[in-house]
Amino acid sequence: MRKRPISIAGIAALATTAIVASVALAGPVVTGKDGNTQSLAGSISPKKLSKSAFGPASLKISVATTSTTAANGVPSPAVHATLDFDKDIKLFTKGIPTCNPAQLQSTSTEVAKQLCGKAQVGGGTASALLPVGSQVYPVNPVVTVFNGVPKGGKPVIILHTYSTTPVQTTLVLSGPVTNLNREGYGPRLDLEVPLLAGGTGALTGVSVKIDKKYSYKGKKRSLVSARCTSGRFKYRATFTYKDGEQLVPTSTQTCKKKK
């Protein structure tokens, strides 16, 4: 049976569904002059934490990008992203096996885990729009998060994304974690974002959870730890797109102080 072409309206509906599915958290949306929209949301668990002592936690981050002006619905793709986390969030990676991002290029999720399974620290989902010929297809890659080989003495986080429909596609995002230590922010993740299909396609959503607990030198450790000193956590990101536009979405999350 001959397949019917996908309409632009159908693409938009499918893409919206994909974004909602992969990005369960919602943050305030900012819009650029190029029509790109961007949102960011963060979530620390548990919500009840000590006011003074850092305790083990898990971190979920979700971002979503759309376009209000592109005829085919594909936003200008991000080429760089920095994510800033509240000063009351800490990341500790010592003792976790590492993975070289070069090993993961052109690999499936299964092969990536075979190569670097011991370095896995989290996972999630993504959404993308991928032009193939005259059609634009919504894509839902699987995301696997790995602890990378340190760069300049700084921890490195790797996001490996893989999808098989309509074609096999792998994107590997990686970057160091530094300590911003100003404006109420602490850790900063600095990610290089490779272009999808030479820049004709774009990631439209990523939602990942980092929840790595392990032992190091006889002590129980957590990659993410947090405390609640002010009753809220704040998050900020800076996205730079292929067309030169830059957007800075922010979001906050409440937390409760343990008595």
Domain boundaries, the chain: 8-240
Dist CA 212 CA 147 (whole Å) = 10
Give me the pLDDT at residue 165, please: 85
Q: How many CA atoms lie within 13 A of 42 on its CB side?
A: 23
Is the distance from CB of 207 to CB of 126 less than 8 angstroms?
A: yes
Give me the pLDDT at residue 21, please: 37
Taking alpha carbons only, the member of 197, 126, 146 closest to residue 168 is: 197
- How large is the average pLDDT for residues 59-76? 97
Q: Is the pLDDT of residue 81 over 50?
A: yes
Whether the pTM exceeds 0.75: the reply is yes
Taking residue 71's Cβ as centre, other Cβ atoms within 10 Å add up to 8
- How large is the average pLDDT for residues 35-39? 98
Phi, psi (degrees; rounded to nearest 5) at 199: 100, 0
Q: Is the pLDDT of residue 66 over 80?
A: yes
- How large is the average pLDDT for residues 3-30? 47
Q: Is the pLDDT of residue 16 over 80?
A: no
Q: How confident is the model at residue 85 (pLDDT cuts 50, 70, 90)?
A: very high
Q: Is the pLDDT of residue 124 over 80?
A: yes
Q: Which residues of 177-204 are buried (b: 16+ CB within 10 A; e: fewer)?
A: beeeeeeebbbbbbbebeebbeeebbbb
Beta-bridge mates of residue 169: 163
What percentage of the chain has pLDDT greater than the value 70? 90
- How large is the average pLDDT for residues 172-191? 97
Contacts of 114 (CB under 8 A, 6+ apart): none
Give me the pLDDT at residue 74, please: 97
For 145-161, what is each residue's pLDDT tens digit?
999 999 999 999 999 99
Phi-psi region of 236 (alpha: psi -120 to 50; beta: other; left: phi over 0): beta
Give me the pLDDT at residue 134, please: 86
Give me the pLDDT at residue 15, please: 41
Average pLDDT, the chain: 91
Q: Is the pLDDT of residue 33 over 70?
A: yes
